[in-house]
Chains A and B, each alone.
Chain A
Amino acid sequence: MEMFVDILVAVLLIAGCLMSLIAGIGLLTFPDMLTRMHAATKPQVLGFLLIFTGLAIHLRSWAVVPVLFLAWGMQLLTAPVSAHMIGRSGYRTKHAAKDSLYADELKQIVDKTSSAPPTGTFDATSGASGKSED
């Protein structure tokens, strides 16, 4: 039984570290920013889930589970937000390779807002400024 649990922990830890390695390889080899973002989110959710499960099983303690769940839930909540911000500001600053996109639903909205007459301190180039209309 003890042996089985150790092997389970080992498999979970190696799989979790493999996610980090996959993210590193993806960051290095993928051609543009949006595809690199896709690679970078691999260790954030699945990798942490595997590592935390392995840690909780190895410590054989229920006391660490709420803390680990807090850390994992925080990743789950914050990863989409930061990916959204990075992707939006990458789109606005033309770092994303738009030729490689199959569908570009953001284009007409950005065109509409940036062709509007400037009013006051309106700044069409201010990236992901959290404006509600785009």
Chain B
Amino acid sequence: MMEIVMWICGIMLGLATVACVIRVARGPSILDRVLALDVMLLIISVALCLEMVYNRHSDYLLFVIAACTLGFIGSVTVSRYVSDQRNA
């Protein structure tokens, strides 16, 4: 049964990743791209959790926490340095 659940979850995560990549490529502003990359990092964390469920171990918990922290620092840093180019 776990096989079927993993397939369903993997397909959903794959579709979400494709949507994020399209938004990164298309996004009109840098903030849209940051947002989409943030969601991609969340998807990677979810995939790590799925791997831990499938193989019944807890080795990747620290990677999940590191991914959360990286997403926060990245989006805050980029949005801090975005400035209005047209009025500058």
The verdict on A20 contacting B68 (CB below 8 Å), with A54-B53, A85-B80, A90-B31 known, is no
Question: For residue B1, which residue of chain A has the nearest CB?
Answer: A6
The answer, yes or no, to whether A95 is at the interface (CB within 8 Å) is yes
Give the dominant DSSP class at A's interface: helix
Q: Mark A26-64, 1 if CB is under 8 A from B, else 0.
A: 011000010011001001100110011011001101011
Is A70 a contact partner of B65 (Cβ separation < 8 A)?
yes
Q: Closest approach, in angstroms, between the C-beta of B49 and any C-beta of chain A?
A: 5
The answer, yes or no, to whether A113 is at the interface (CB within 8 Å) is no
Identify 7 new A-B residue pairs, CB closer than 8 A, beyond the known A27-B19, A88-B79: A20-B16, A21-B15, A51-B50, A58-B56, A59-B53, A71-B61, A95-B32
Q: Please give the residue numbers on chain B whose beta carbons come within 8 Å of chain A beta carbons, in ascending order.
A: 1-2, 5, 8-9, 12-13, 15-20, 22-23, 28-29, 31-32, 34-36, 38-39, 42-43, 45-46, 49-50, 52-53, 56, 58, 61-62, 64-65, 68-69, 71-72, 75-76, 79-88
